[in-house]
Chains A and B, each alone.
Chain A
Amino acid sequence: MSIAVQTAPAPSTGPYTSGDEHVRTELSKIDRSMRGAAIFFLISSIFWLMAGTILALIAAIKAHSPDFLGAYEFLTFGRVRSAHLNAMVFGWSNNAIFAVALWIMARLCRNEVRHNGMLYIAGSIWNIAATIGIVGILAGHGTSIEWLEMPKYVTPLLALSYALIGAWGIMAFRFRKGEHVYVSQWFFLAALFWFPWLYTVAQIMIVFIPARGTVQAITNWWFAHNVLGLWFTPMALGAAYYLIPKVLGKPIHSYYLSVLAFWSLALFYNWAGVHHLIGGPIPVWLISAGIVASVMMVIPVVVTAINHHMTVVGSFGAVWRSPTLRFVVFGAMSYTLTSLIGSAMALRSVNEVTHFTHFTVGHAHHGVYAFFTMIMFGAIYFMMPRLLQREWPSATLIHLHFWFCAVGIGIMVVGLHVGGWIQGMMMNDPDIAFIDTVRATVPWLQSRSVSGLFLTLGHIAFAINVFWMLLPANRKVEGPTLLERRKEAEA
């Protein structure tokens, strides 16, 4: 407080802290143009994150204690698990992407977001559609197609609202200022085209004009895996390629490698999804092509890992000091690990064990949570102070958020990988009765429920911090520490 009193006569000249609007320049204007829409998407995403977490806990507990809430038909495992997945994918993840990617895109395009009223309208339609879809799943109207469980009556709404939101991202790119297209812009722009393409093709070929037989299964896994690889992955990597150098204040170690990572992902990933059908009744050449593509993914993964590591090396103090980097670096490290495990799982000999086990479930959470979600958390920690021009209210809550989530997802990934591997080995042994295999998985499934509790606590800490930050009373907090300018001014 004493510092505030001393420095009060000299108003801050920093673009983020200045009360004088003329002082704020280009970047602040861009941030301001995106503020309302980004916060709208962020609040939506947090509601979905909490809803998805509760559904996840119910599903996780049911997996080892089937009697839990057993008297309610809308809470049967099949419905709750699907509702959890859709709440996380279409609710939490997509809203977080809309907030973070559109904001970074606007910053990199160096142009304000115009007519952002449309983003509110489209975002409202998206969230209403997602709500109807998830209630529909719980009501028993689900399609039973993985990752496309929402009843088909919400598809047109989701497609329409996505088209509008995606168009705004593409328009930002179209009216960009500046010559160079930064690698994050490549990632975001490509993903904005990839997602609608995946979604419409899958909906048409599986739900609206269903293909026959195994073509449905091929399309299903092509879609589901590409949502990870061509939607979540590029969005999270684009954010990481922006945030890591940005927070450290030094350019990426090798920009050449980052561009290579983008183009190799763009060219290989599309084929990889078929590895979900190894051993299935589809043409063997197709599976082999999927395996080759999965293994080829080692290239962008290793390239990205080297690049991120070399950028951060020597600056680990900064990673420790920065909430953003803590989450983003955790996510980037998880990306390397989960991708390499994924490539290994695509090998027939490994897949023989891991197929149909909890190993796959652990792997999915490793990717979507430890990699994607952690990077989104980090991006939100970077974005909010800049949009609101005020500091995060509680450092303790950020610490709690990080440690609960890091430990929680760690327990889940280890538990399900180990438990899944044991399960796979037992299932492959014809002398072991199936029920013994089921019994052997129970302790590992219990570990997942424990991890769920950790994640829930982390999410609560995060939600409290965000809503606390949004409180009008909090506007009085001055001199954000997020910029070193403050320290300079004090010195």
Chain B
Amino acid sequence: MEGFGYILTIFLVGAFLFTSAVIALYWASKNGQFKDFEENAKTIFDAEEPEGLEGDSFPDNKKKD
């Protein structure tokens, strides 16, 4: 029966994780995180690094220009 306590611990910990994931999912849904995917995908861009700007290249590309 001693081992059972551990199985129960694992189960409770797993259940806790699962519940927290469900709560997070519920919050995200209520908060409107799943609305307007088109627009939200662009949140990574801003004035300094705008959309349409290729952000990285090898330092020697300068010579090839």
Contacts and interface: CB of A to CB of B under 8 A. Distances in A.
B58 A395 contact: yes
Contacts of A108: 43-44
Interface string B30-53: 001110011011111111111111
A182 B56 contact: no
Interface in A370-389: 381-382
Nearest to B62: A481
Interface string A165-180: 0000000000000111
Interface residues of B, number: 44
Contact of B37 (A184, A219, A255): A255
A347 interface: no
A255 B3 contact: no
A398 interface: yes
Contacts of A483: 53, 55
B46 to A, nearest CB: 6
B36 to A, nearest CB: 9
A394 B59 CA distance: 7
A211 interface: yes
Nearest to A201: B13
Given A108-B44, A215-B3, A259 B37 contact: yes
B7 A215 contact: yes
Interface of A is mostly: helix
B49 A211 contact: no
A318 B56 CA distance: 9
A263 B44 CA distance: 20
Nearest to B33: A181
B56 A381 contact: yes
Interface in B3-46: 3, 6-7, 9-10, 13-14, 17-18, 20-21, 24-25, 28, 32-34, 37-38, 40-46
B59 A247 contact: no
Contacts of B55: 246-249, 322, 324, 382, 482-484
A325 B48 CA distance: 20
B51 A322 contact: no
Nearest to B44: A246
Q: Which of B32, B49, B50, B57 has the most CB of A within 10 A?
A: B57
A178 to B, nearest CB: 7
A481 B2 contact: no
A25 B47 contact: yes
B3 to A, nearest CB: 5
B2 to A, nearest CB: 6
Interface in A336-362: none
Contact of A180 (B10, B20, B21, B43): B43
Given A242-B44, A251-B42, A382 B56 contact: yes
Contact of A251 (B10, B51, B58): B51
B33 A180 contact: yes
Given A27-B46, A484-B53, A245 B41 contact: yes
Contacts of A215: 3, 6-7, 10
Q: Which of A254, A323, A481, A487 has the most CB of B within 10 A?
A: A481
Contacts of B50: 249
A201 B33 CA distance: 31
A321 interface: yes
Given A197-B17, A205-B6, A484 B48 contact: no
B42 A398 contact: no
A122 B19 CA distance: 30
B53 A249 contact: yes
A174 B57 CA distance: 34
Contacts of A256: 37
Interface string A217-253: 0110010000000000000000000100111111110
A484 B61 contact: no
A246 B58 contact: no
A197 B10 CA distance: 12
Contacts of B40: 180, 182, 255
28 contacts: A181-B33, A182-B44, A205-B9, A211-B6, A212-B3, A212-B6, A213-B3, A215-B6, A215-B10, A222-B10, A246-B44, A247-B54, A248-B54, A251-B42, A251-B51, A254-B37, A255-B38, A255-B40, A266-B21, A267-B18, A270-B18, A321-B54, A325-B56, A392-B59, A395-B58, A398-B59, A481-B59, A482-B55
Given A179-B32, A382-B55, 7 more contacts: A25-B48, A27-B49, A197-B17, A254-B37, A259-B34, A321-B54, A395-B59
